[in-house]
Structure 1
């Protein structure tokens, strides 16, 4: 990604903040058939010794070939708020007319190695965390335990966990108001 210095964002906590607030990531892989992209909601964990920029965790349908790309280098893209910016928003328009339209946005690219996780306990814990987080704002939050056990077992058998241990992240904050501070 092209990042002019004035738009670069490298603070891990700020990049994680965008991922946490916009968790639907676009996972890009390259295989024998060319480029592929999968849209997947993730959770992100804090940096650790084995993953200096954190770990992305999610699940996919067992029918999705993504999880079979275990060990492959991937890129997950997370896009925050974005908007069109009209030249009329700039004072310079009235003064000199030397303005053009632009687009404001914030984006994070997380690079790392994909790992498939075919472990029912790991998946159950992930589903509980994801559901708890995303249901928290509901007036009557749904919990995984609300589903009938036999139904849940059938669905769990149809998914596989994935992890991306982030070894490189880059952020671009071309947006107003100014970038967040820690």
Structure 2
């Protein structure tokens, strides 16, 4: 299956305070660099990082990686706007599915992303696969091709929740052994 990934790195980190949380150093490296490492070495057709707020400070973290960045000029509108921007940038990639991830998951590792991909493949690429830990839904979420049009239509700050709700019966939860898929970084 041909899979792509969109990593959201456009937000203003308001809950984090004055600093940009994606640049916050965790165990010796910037938070976003840690998340991007979780997508490296996997058989993904393309990884897109959506930038926006302080893009000039985020872009250096992307150099030397097998990915491309897309600037969302409407990043201030919210997560839905950034998600749609990323998905639109992959319109011509011929994808069978798309991983969607937040850029602020400090404990996310390659094996977590690989587990989601494997579960998606086991379901024949027809189910939405969402990791969860102790009942809490997390990221990355893998969406089948049929959801891409709905994801491209998102706007504002709604994110993918609406798509997940609409597709309710086709969402498969992947229970994880640790909290890496749900532990984000909203406070310093």
TM norm structure 1 = 0.25
Q: Give the number of the structure whose alpha-carbon radius of gyration is greater.
A: 1
TM norm structure 2 = 0.24
Q: Which has the higher strand share?
A: 1
